[in-house]
Structure 1
Amino acid sequence: MSDEQEDAGTATDFPTEGRLLGIDYGTKRVGLAVTDWEQSMAVPLSTIQRSHERTETREYRTAVDDYSIKGLVLGLPVHISGNESGKSQEARRYGNWLADITGLPVTYWDERFTSAIAEEHLLAAGLTSKKRKQRIDKLAAQIMLQSFLDAKDREKEPGEY
């Protein structure tokens, strides 16, 4: 793929040190997680309520500045088969928008089952439905981001593993 054809999601030139921001994309809410400087551990950060573009832009720029973020890892919703869907294309458009507003490289990572895993953890913790809803997106972002950190080959596209 030539440089002109690459969208924000290629892993070439993606930072291997410095904090990364993990993003669990959703149409109503977006979960955020952040790594340590060494990119060995992810922790949940916050949830952004999807509203106005200006508000979201401000929230992302604040997170990027406050945590000295070097790159963005966006969860890509793919089918169980690994094939992309309409939601995958929405997420890629969102990733391109994030690259534009932050000036940071974006890569995409398979987010299959992260919300289900997060829900299982929250249920096991005995949280109420309201508390689970408040935490699920940022926990799903953490699970997706930790999966990225633990991967031996981060350069593969979702569905290629």
Structure 2
Amino acid sequence: MRTLGLDVGTRTIGVAASDAMGWTAQGVETIKFPENQLNKALPRLEELIKEHEVSKIIVGLPKNMNNTIGPRGEACLSFAEKLKSTFDLEVEMWDERLSTMAAQRMLISADVSRKKRKQVIDKMAAVVILQGYLDSKQF
């Protein structure tokens, strides 16, 4: 069974999936939805959960640098609860501070154009979140 990693935003959800062994994270896609209407993303998430045979979901938790949780973090926590009740899967939160910046640096170092970076940044942030989680479980 695989793990799904999510980078939840106000209009997009970046999605990454682990390999079957739980060692590596690969970008899957970016789900787009109307602003602040996360529920519109649930049907596509359900398809991805079935397609990738997911047993666990990791949701990035955007904390402030002082470790407090702001409005975006509260929205992610609420969405995680919705995922738990909708899909009856284990859902864990993962501190995603600076994940988008890390993804941005990876894409820049790979010489990806600004236009293409914008198209894949959420998916890459999901990869950073999921890979961080998977790496923490290796030891």
The answer to whether the superposition gives a TM-score over 0.5 is yes
What do the CA deviations read for 1:83-117 (whole angstroms, capped 9, x no partner)?
22221111001111122222211100000111001
Q: TM-score, normalised by structure 2?
A: 0.91
- Give yes or no for contact 1:44–1:139 (8 Å, CA) kept in 2: yes
Q: 5+ residue gaps in structure 1? A: 1-17, 155-161
2:124 is matched with: 139
Aligned Cα root-mean-square deviation (Å): 1.8
- Counterpart check, 1:149 vs 2:106: no
Q: Write 1 or 2 for the structure with the bigger share of strand.
A: 2
1:33 is matched with: 16
Q: Measure the CA separation in 2 of the matches of 1:53 and 1:75.
A: 14
1:86 is matched with: 71
- Counterpart check, 1:120 vs 2:96: no
- Counterpart check, 1:24 vs 2:7: yes
Q: Which runs of 4+ in 1 moved over 6 A?
A: none
1:99 is matched with: 84
Q: Measure the CA separation in 1 of the matches of 2:122 and 2:128.
A: 10
Amino acid at match of 1:43: Q
Q: Measure the CA separation in 1 of the matches of 2:44 and 2:52.
A: 12
What do the CA deviations read for 1:131-159 (whole angstroms, capped 9, x no partner)?
001110011100110100111599xxxxx
Identity of aligned residues (%): 29
Q: 5+ residue gaps in structure 2? A: none
Q: Measure the CA separation in 1 of the matches of 2:75 and 2:93.
A: 12
Larger Rg: 1
Q: TM-score, normalised by structure 1?
A: 0.79
